[in-house]
Amino acid sequence: MGSYATREVERLLSLPSSTLRHWEREVPLLQPRKDAFGRRLYSESDLLLFLRLKHLALDKGLGLSAARAKLEAELSGPLPDERARIAELRGELLGLLGEAKAAGKKLGTGA
């Protein structure tokens, strides 16, 4: 994995360094390392976090606080949408199991 200087990250994300620094202060997940001269070096995982924050905060219009909360929720476990879909699938499977048992009884297999 490579390291990226601030100028490279600014160019890649189309964000000014002041925004990068502000987001680092507000989002504890963002902690770039620093070189011997104190310059920030961003990892690929830092870039991915910035990209997701940018999408949530700016593209989706959530703002930084809501974007941070959503990002933390995403990283801490399944998304609410995923949990809802899992519950829905579980219900469908239980329904199918009930139908299979009913069909087995009709056929006399006692399944």
The rounded distance, in Å, linking the Cα atoms of 4 and 13 is 12
User: Is residue 9 located within the same domain as residue 37?
Assistant: yes
DSSP 31: -
User: Is residue 27 located within the same domain as residue 53?
Assistant: yes
* Percent of the chain surpassing pLDDT 70: 90
At 104 the pLDDT is: 80
Residue-wise pLDDT for 52-94, tens only, equals: 899 999 999 999 999 999 988 888 876 667 766 776 777 777 7
> Is the CB of residue 26 less than 8 Å from the CB of residue 18?
no
Domain of residue 109: give its range: 79-111
State how far Cα 110 lies from the chain centre.
46
Residue-wise pLDDT for 19-31, tens only, equals: 999 999 999 999 9
Number of structural domains in the chain: 2
